[in-house]
Amino acid sequence: MIVYTLAVAFAGAALNLSPPPASAASPAPTAVGLDGAREAVAAWRLDDAERALAGEVSPGEDAVAREVLAARVDLARSRFDAVVKRLDPVVAAHPDAFEARVVLGRALLAQGKKARGFAVLDAMADAYNDDRVTAARDLMWLGVGLHLTDYVKNANRAFKEALDLDGDLDQARLLWAELFIAKYNYQDSDGLYREVLARHPGDLGATLGQARIDILSDNELTGAREKLDRILAAAPGCVPAHNLIALVELQNERPEAAAERLLAQSLRLAPNDLEALALLGAAYYLADDDTRYAATEQRALAVNPRFAAFYTTVAEHAARVHRYREAVALDKRALALDPEHWPALAGLGIGMSRLGDDAEAVRYLNEAFDGDPYDVRTYNLLAHFYDDVKKHYTWVDAEPLRVRVEKSQEAILSRYVPAFLQQAYGYFTKKYAFAPAEPLHVEIFPDVQTFAVRSTGLPQLSAHGICFGHVITSRSPSDGNFNWGEVLWHELAHVYHIQLSKSRVPRWFTEGLAVWESLEGRPNWERENDPELLRYLNRGQLRGVADFNLAFTQAKSMQDILVAYYHAFKVAKFIDKTWGFAKMRKMLAGWGEKLETPAVLKAALGVSVEEFDRRFFAWLREDLGRLISQLQIDPGAFAGRADEVLAAAAAAPDDANKQTEGAIAALAKGDADLAMQHAARALTLDPAAPRARYVRAVVAMQKQDAAAAEADLLALVAAGHDSVDIEGRLATLADGRGDADAAIAALTRAVKLDPKEASSYTALIAKLDAAKRPAEAFAWRARLADVDQMDAGLVKRLLDDAAAQGAAKADVIRWGEQGNFIAPFSAALHVAFARELKRLGEVERARFEARSALAIDPNDAAALALLK
């Protein structure tokens, strides 16, 4: 979360002038007169506004309003001295010119003249107490003044009173929404923006505000960019929109693009804009351009010597790319400039917690909360993490690591986690010839909300583990639905990547390498997403390494995220198999030396980015060869362009390939009849067209024409066009007519076509169980256990059947250990493992597992019996 309180205020001052609101839908005509100038400023047509204000003064025109409007233009262009020079005499002559006070106060605060700015703004509160603030617009300006002087509750009340008096005053809604954004209340701010947009579709200020919420609250960068592009199409001079695009670029880890936007647009239009300067500083900092960063820092401080937000902005972006210790140093610089800059204190609290210093974290967080009780992350960490930790958590030693666990789970976790972490630490330290700097903390939370708050300060997080370089946070395996060993091995690998690269390793590399290194923890921890990866490859949706991080930051679905991880894993595997691990370590060191990715690839691997991508994608197609050789149709590939493909098919009735594509596009639209028509036409033109026959079989199954579907599917197989999906469909058809043997045969072929596809195993095992063929079912379960690392029930069944099926000792031990990595809080699993260990002569291990069961249920009769 990045808080730009002053920047938000500047944007509001320039945008929210007077009705009618400016629209992001279409440009307005040239401004004429004072009213035209108002509309031009609201639409960010500042040149038009200045021309209108330079014209002749109309008889009876409000001279104060003209001066205030001219000052608004100066403020939007960040000409703060000009604002002060223009409005000082206005405010002196007209003490109740409240809009003038707001504009003047903003300019003074932008220059770091806090005492003087507050004096100008506080006078409005005095006027309110003297009953001189009664009109709706005056109450609105009072609300802004109270916001800027940090009287949040009073500001909230003033905006409410303004709208109670004049429900049509949308400018008050926009300014009220800015108060909510500044205090992290995105829900109510969005509600106000929606009210404005319902009355004035396309309103520029409301659209801009929603884009800001998309970024700060929802991390919906794509949606934000779409809104911002609409704004700039109508208002190319809208500096806040350019700033937000730069923010999007920074969060996409594209600092060069952010700097280009800020220099070419924001700072050309408003050379002293503080938000733009802070973002430019962040861009240069992330790019390790020390010279330009220092120059930007001095430029910003020349405008406002107390501009602490410069450093907190840079710190927030540094932390986003794992540079946590640097972020702490930056927040301390902010605090040195302004001891009451609450975001700096909050950042220090969060930063120290991520560095493993709880005492300092709590101290800073308490100071931050005392100053700004509205910061939700500060509150959450204090109320829902540190307060809870004191009461319910303890430390377990795993020298040189420490493990924080809930006291109620200590008995089980202490039996498995410390030894495992020490094994992983020893492995990585030897592999990398590097011992990471301490402290090294691993914190395990049974409550998902506590885990999320500890990790991000917010209560929602879908991940199982997070690494901060010195601190690893993880969900507890108490629910028995994920592999905690794989998670901790993966996160501990990040510790080495982050520290060796001095926190500069790109996300795609560290994630891919950590997944690849998980196989070194246990070979069966490999993730299995080849079919999904192939679909993305065929659709042209896989990125090269130059912009690979965008696959994570611009993901539109959980599927996109999963494929990004798996793609990164394949890249890491390719590098290791092609150049060896020593080169991968050299890459980490290269990033640590502040080299950019192209230079890292050249120095470590001897290839350019383009050559790397070319070689990788050639290797990937070979790696996925077993799937590429299978017949595939992918209706999803036509999403968004199905009508175009269908039009091309209609225009080429004698082109078998276009007819086939039309058939698949019709499937994408859910039009089975049209799909059948195009498939039939394609087969008339080319009776051997396999994809068209495949579509015809799919449609036949949808229409419950089993005979026709099976005939086409068998014809495809006979012609050498087999696939997992085809065999799965043949199994479904066989099952429908009650032919269990045929269904089992088809599913067996499916497994052989793709030994990594878990769903084929599951279906096959179910059929074998139903057919009472236990030996075969057991054999396939054993193979499935090497594919599916998350199914505790599968492991339990293998252990239960192991004796009857004569399972080897090594297999039993592997399955039992796998069960402990998935469901260590299952007494039944521990008992099953202990029983088999005892049968196989592993008496001490059997007793250990039995005692684990008793740590969960002291009265477990089976566990007690095993100890006799």
The tens digit of pLDDT for each residue in 478-487 reads 999 999 999 9
Q: Does 15 have pLDDT greater than 50?
A: no
Q: How confident is the model at residue 392 (pLDDT cuts 50, 70, 90)?
A: very high
Is 506 strand, coil or helix? coil
Query: Residue 59: pLDDT band by 50, 70, 90 thresholds?
Result: confident
Domains 5-307 and 789-868 share a fold: yes
Q: Measure the CA–CA gap between 564 and 290, rounded to whole angstroms.
A: 31
pLDDT at 373 over 90: yes
Architecture of domain 5-307: Alpha Horseshoe (1.25)
pLDDT per residue as tens digits for the range 170-206: 999 999 999 999 999 999 999 999 999 999 999 999 9
**Residues of the chain with pLDDT > 90: what percent?**
91
User: Quick one: pLDDT band at residue 461, thresholds 50, 70, 90?
Assistant: confident
How does the average pLDDT of the chain come out, rounded? Answer: 94
Burial of 352 (0-12, 13-18, 19+ CB in 10 A): buried
Q: In which band, very low, low, confident or very high, does the pLDDT at 14 lie, cut at 50, 70 and 90? A: very low
Q: pLDDT (tens digit, 9 = 90+) per residue, 215-272? A: 999 889 999 999 999 999 999 999 999 999 999 999 999 999 999 999 999 999 999 9
Yes or no: say if 362 and 349 are a contact pair by the CB < 8 Å rule.
yes
Please give the structure tokens belonging to residue 757: 């596809």
pLDDT at 27 over 90: no
Whole-number Cα distances in Å, 581 to 431, 520, 575: 9, 12, 8
Output the six-digit token pair for 27.
């440009």
Going by C-alpha positions, the residue among 194, 243, 228 that lies closest to residue 7 is: 243
Q: Residue 5: is its pLDDT beyond 80?
A: no
| Cα–Cα distances in angstroms (integers) from residue 335 to residues 279, 331, 803, in the given order | 19, 6, 67
- Of the candidates 382, 492, 479, which has an alpha carbon nearest to the alpha carbon of residue 443? 492
User: Helices 274-286 and 239-251 meet at what angle, rounded to 10?
Assistant: 20
Helix locations, 706-791, DSSP H: 706-718, 724-736, 740-753, 758-770, 774-784
pLDDT, one tens digit per residue, over 409-435 is 999 999 999 999 999 999 999 999 999
Q: Cβ–Cβ contacts within 10 Å for residue 653, how many?
A: 12
- CATH topology assigned to domain 789-868: 1.25.40
How is the chain split into domains, by residue range? 5-307, 531-629, 789-868
Residue 7 banded pLDDT, cuts 50, 70, 90: very low
The mean pLDDT of 73-96, rounded to a whole number, is 98
Phi, psi of 276, deg, nearest 5: -65, -40
Q: Say what the pLDDT of residue 6 is.
A: 31
Angle formed by the axes of helices 809-822 and 484-500, nearest 10°: 70
Residues 6 or more apart whose Cβ sits within 8 Å of residue 679: 659, 660, 663, 692, 693, 695, 696, 699
Is residue 474 a contact partner of residue 488, using CB atoms and an 8 Å limit?
yes
Task: Give rounded-to-5 percent helix, strand, coil for the chain.
Answer: 70, 5, 25
Measured distance between the N- and C-terminal CA atoms of the chain, rounded to whole angstroms: 58
Whose structure tokens read 């009265």? 859
Q: How high is the pLDDT of residue 19? A: 37
Query: Which own/partner pairs from 559-565 qualify as long-range (CB within 8 Å, at least 24 positions apart)?
Result: 559/532, 562/529, 562/532, 563/529, 563/532, 563/533, 563/536, 564/508, 564/511, 565/511, 565/512, 565/515, 565/527
Confidence check: pLDDT of 291 > 60: yes
SS3 sequence, 646-701? HHHHHHCCCCHHHHHHHHHHHHHHCCHHHHHHHHHHHHHHCCCCHHHHHHHHHHHH
pLDDT of 33 above 90: no
pLDDT at 56: 73
What tens digit of pLDDT does each residue of 622-643 get? 999 999 999 999 999 998 899 9
Q: CA 295 → CA 301, 302, 304, distances in Å? A: 10, 11, 14
State how far the Cα of 435 lies from the Cα of 763, in Å rounded to an integer: 46
Tokens of 1: 């979360």
**How distant is the alpha carbon of residue 139 from its chain centre?**
40
